[in-house]
Amino acid sequence: MFIIDCGKTFYDSAISILLPFLQANKQFAPFIDGVVLTHPHADACFGLDELRQWTMVLQENAAVYCDQQTFSTIAQAFPYLVNKECATGGGDVSDISFRMIEWNKTFEVCGVDVLPLPGTHLAWVKVVEHGIKNETEPFMCLSFHFKGISYISDVSKISEQGLGEMKGTTKVLILDMLKGDSNSYHKSHFTFDQCIQVIETIKPEVTFLVGMSHSTEHDKMTKKLELYENETGHYVRLAFDGLYLQFDDDIVHPFDPSINLHENKM
C-alpha cells in the first residue's frame, strides 16, 4: 500500500484507524511501500520519523516521494532522515529512500501511475496587489490524480490547466474545504463556494470534502450537501476518520455499510 502525506499525527492515526482496518481485512499486507507527500508543512510530513515503526520491524526501507521544496524542508527539520550520519543517541531512525517527483510528470508508486498537479496553497506567502518581491509568489502544494481519483488536500487556487486535466477523468474527487459557510474565505484553503465551483467544473461522480475546521458542524453540513445533491445531482459528502473506499476498475465500494453511497452514481 502507499499513503498520501505523513503528518505529525500519523502514528496515532495508524494505531486508531489503519491497524483495526488491517486486522479486519487480512488480505491487505501491513507494509508501507510508498509515501507520497503533498507539501512541506508539519501536517503533511512531520510524521516521517514514525516510519521507523515499520522499517525497524516489518520492512527494511520505505520510499518517500516528494518534490524538491518538500525535500529541502525535510532535510532541515530531520537531517538524520536524509543522512544517517547526523543521527545521535541510539541512532534508531527511519530507513527512508527519497525519490524526487516533478510537477506535471507521471511517476509510478506501487504499480499505480500518479500525475502530480501543482495547486496553490498560500500559507507562508501572502499574495497582495502591491508587495515586496518575496510576497508575490504563491506557495505551491501538490495534488494528485490516479486511477480516476483526484486528491486535492490543501489548496486555495487551481490553475485552468489543472482543472482541464481533471475534467472528464475524475470519478472520485477528494477536495480541501476548511469552512462550510457560504460566502466565507480563507487565504490558504478552499471554502464551500470555491469547492462548488470546482465540482461543477470537473463534474466528478462522487466528492468527499476534507480538512474541515471545528466550526463546520457535520450534521448541519451534511443536510446542506444533501440539499445541494437534490438540486444539482452532484453527490458531495464530508469525509471522516475511518472512511474506507475500495476502488475497482468501474465502481467504488464502501467498506463501511453506514456510508450512503449509491452504486449507480459511481
Query: How many percent of the chain have pLDDT more than 70?
Result: 85
**Domain 1-101 and domain 102-266 have a common topology:** yes
What integer pLDDT is reported at residue 48 of this predicted model?
96
Averaged pLDDT, 76-87? 90
What integer pLDDT is reported at residue 104 of this predicted model?
76
Within 10 A of 256 (CB to CB), how many other CB atoms are there? 11
C-alpha cell at position 232 = 444539482
- The model's pLDDT over 198-248, given as tens digits with 9 standing for 90+, comes to 999 999 999 999 999 999 999 999 999 999 999 999 999 999 888 877 766
Averaged pLDDT, 131-148? 70
What integer pLDDT is reported at residue 121 of this predicted model?
52
* Alpha carbons 48 and 216: distance in angstroms, whole number: 29
Contact partners, residue 192, CB within 8 Å, separation at least 6: 177, 179, 180, 181, 182, 184
Averaged pLDDT, 22-34? 87
Q: What CATH code would you report for 102-266?
A: 3.60.15.10
CATH class of 1-101: alpha beta
Contact partners, residue 179, CB within 8 Å, separation at least 6: 186, 189, 191, 192, 212, 213, 215, 216
14, 46 Cβ separation under 8 angstroms: no
Contact partners, residue 205, CB within 8 Å, separation at least 6: 171, 172, 235, 265, 266
Residue ranges per structural domain of the chain = 1-101, 102-266
Is the pLDDT reported for residue 115 higher than 80? no
Mean pLDDT, the chain, as a whole number? 83
- The model's pLDDT over 142-199, given as tens digits with 9 standing for 90+, comes to 888 888 888 899 998 888 877 887 888 888 999 999 999 988 888 889 999 999 999 9
The span from the first CA to the last CA of the chain, in angstroms, equals 23
More confident residue, 40 or 253: 40
The amino acid that residue 111 corresponds to is G
Averaged pLDDT, 119-135? 35
